[in-house]
Structure 1
Amino acid sequence: MNRTERESAARRIMEGGHAPVPPELYGDAVRRGARMLRQRRAARRLLWLVLCAAAVAFTVWAVSARPWVEPPSQTTPPITGW
């Protein structure tokens, strides 16, 4: 099928009559779209909640463990009696 034949086939399809749309299709599409939006919104909120909980958990761990402080040296015994 060359380009001219494809263009004429596409024109025939576009100019031809459209099949009737069932009346309940609009309501089904609206309900499905609303449900998808609610699910996406709930998933987004859940992800933000998990992210905030992880940030709080990391902050609590960092404050209690203090990983930025160098641990005291355990290799040399303390010098006493000088």
Structure 2
Amino acid sequence: MSGNDREAAVRRLLEQVPRSVPPEIHAEAVRVGGRVLRRRTLARRALWLLLFAAAVAFTVWALTARPWVEPPSHTTPPLTGW
């Protein structure tokens, strides 16, 4: 069976199937699809808000804690009076 024969067979099968969708199924699919899109949009916005809040919190912590600065040594007293 060559590629053309297979393609012709598939076309015949597709032409046999009725192409109309019952109206109640179409309305239900549109309703459910709209709800899914709204949920995805809300979830995406919530995740972006969470990411922004985490970035702000990290920035504030880094500016106040300054983790890149070495802490002062408390093991030896400072040398004074030389």
* TM-score for both structures, normalised by structure 1: 0.78
The unaligned stretches of length 5 or more in structure 1 are none
> Runs of at least 4 residues of structure 1 off by over 3 A?
73-76
Name the structure 2 match of 1:67.
Answer: 67
When the two chains are superposed, the root-mean-square deviation of aligned CA atoms in Å is: 2.0
Paired with 1:11 and 1:33, the residues of 2 have a C-alpha distance of 29
Corresponding residue of 2:13 = 13
Q: Which residue does the alignment assign to 1:30?
A: 30
**TM-score, normalised to structure 2's length?**
0.78
Runs of 5+ in structure 2 lacking a partner? Answer: none
The equivalences for 1:31-70 within 5 A come to: 31-70=31-70
SS at match of 1:53: helix
Q: Give the % identical residues.
A: 63
How many residues align? The count is: 81
